[in-house]
Amino acid sequence: MKKLFVGVLLALSCMSANAQEKYFLPAGTEAVSPDGEGFIRRWTVLEPISKTNRSNTVFVDSYLREVFAKEYFKNQMTILPKDGQKVKVTFDKQVEQPRPAGQPMDFRRMSMEPPKFEKATETLKWHKLDSKNYNFKLMRFGEHEIKRVYGVIYWAVTVINCDEDMNNVRLSVGSNSASQWWVNGEDVLLMSSDRRMVADDCMSRRINLKKGENVIRGAIINGPGMSDFCVRIVDENGKVIKSGYTIK
């Protein structure tokens, strides 16, 4: 029986590893270009932070700005994470409400009562990966790294190196579900509501990218359902930019 149990664990581990390899590759040390459609596939992503939401309908602008403005880890808006780097994260953990012994579960009452939370901390790790798809499948990443897929916030960072100044360009983003995006520390795009990931779903206002390194940072939140995102850069006329920069 013990051998059978060990065999099952090994099989599950192999399945998880194969699932990871299906969607991602460890990022190399050499800079890469955007793919043939202009999508940025290299991202350094933090393991998902727990953020309980019963529904995605709460993702209105005011709620998102409040949630994304909270500090979950040190240097949240300035960190340039390295692969394998660990950070201590503080989050609100939902408190399980005890049921009096001998009483049946009252699902109607439970659905009407607001959840209770307490402060909790955990250590999470950054992973630098190249996506095999134009969209970065956060759910597959989360289920492999920390077995957490619903009620989450993901933080993603990438650094691009521009050959020359690129003026009046836009960040073109799709995300599932809501998200917020910053370029060189400046808030450029908020994508609210419960949405599916669609390429070029929303575009930022016109921004300027400087010659050399530019930092793109995103936060993606989801309750139930899939999580993923895609990003590319377009010029002021909406034409996809496929050259003139590399991804570090």
Please compute the mean of the pLDDT values over residues 43-62 and round it to a whole number: 94
- The number of beta carbons lying within 10 Å of the beta carbon of residue 230 is 23
**pLDDT value at residue 144:** 85
Q: What total of structural domains would you count in the chain?
A: 1
Q: Which span out of 8-12, 19-23, 76-80 was modeled with the highest average pLDDT?
A: 76-80
Domain that holds residue 35: 2-247
Coil vs helix vs strand at 12: helix
C-alpha span between 33 and 188 (Å, rounded): 23
**pLDDT value at residue 8:** 34
Check whether 186 has a pLDDT greater than 80: yes
Please compute the mean of the pLDDT values over residues 183-206 and round it to a whole number: 97
Out of 47-56, 79-88, 173-182, pick the least confident: 47-56
- The pLDDT > 90 percentage for the chain reads 75
The token duo for 137 is 């499948």
How far is the CA of 38 from the CAs of 53, 108, 225, 234, in angstroms? Answer: 33, 49, 27, 9
In tens, the pLDDT along 99-137 reads 556 666 554 554 556 667 789 999 999 999 999 999 999
Average pLDDT, the chain: 89
**pLDDT value at residue 15:** 38
Please compute the mean of the pLDDT values over residues 1-8 and round it to a whole number: 42
How far is the CA of 194 from the CAs of 142, 150, 152, 223, 226, in angstroms? Answer: 19, 14, 14, 9, 11
